[in-house]
Structure 1
């Protein structure tokens, strides 16, 4: 008898959110969208992220196949991060969401500001 694999996710959006997990991964994907960056360049491109969190997020993204880490064996050592084809495809899928956010940013900021008050 053939075993049926149970689905982990209820829908495609659920699966995509699981891969994205949190605020930083989207910003890292966006920063790497134009090409490979070294760690320091990437940290400057994602304002507000700590070194520790960036390291953890990059490791997770490497594990899920979104990011490629290339080590250049030279002195001083050099490491570059770039998007994989899988990462580029997610970045492309997120572009309309980013455009929606830009169109509605004032409203979203008002909502966030109302919560603080």
Structure 2
């Protein structure tokens, strides 16, 4: 009985992950932020088909999940950068495996 409960909990977590990263643009936004923090306009330029409205929505979702950190830099001019948290960076490394598979097989 305990094994079934543990298995159901693990499946629930996996399902939650796939629901989150399965949303259009989520994986590409994480991919774009893997190398270094970027401003909104830089992320938008990296993913040309992504509308600003949708990018804003997805970034907020990634922040809410604890994957992306929003940093306001108060120097003149004031600007905002987005970076991956440790949790987000670990997800990016996992998604890199999927990216490698896609490059080999698609």
What TM-score, normalized by structure 1, do the two folds share? 0.76
Q: Which residue is 2:5 aligned to?
A: none
Q: Alignment RMSD, CA only? A: 2.0
- The structure whose RCO (Cα within 8 Å, separation 6+) is larger is 2
Which is greater in Rg?
1
Q: How does 1:100-111 map to 2 (within 5 A)?
A: 100-105=101-106
C-alpha deviations, 1:7-38, integer Å up to 9, x for none? 67735431321231312010000000001001
Q: Which residue is 1:42 aligned to?
A: 43
In 2, distance between residues paired with 1:41 and 1:31? 9
C-alpha deviations, 1:25-63, integer Å up to 9, x for none? 100000000010011111011121000000000000000
| Aligned: 1:79 with 2:75 | no
More helix by share: 2
Q: Which runs of 5+ in 2 are unaligned?
A: 1-7
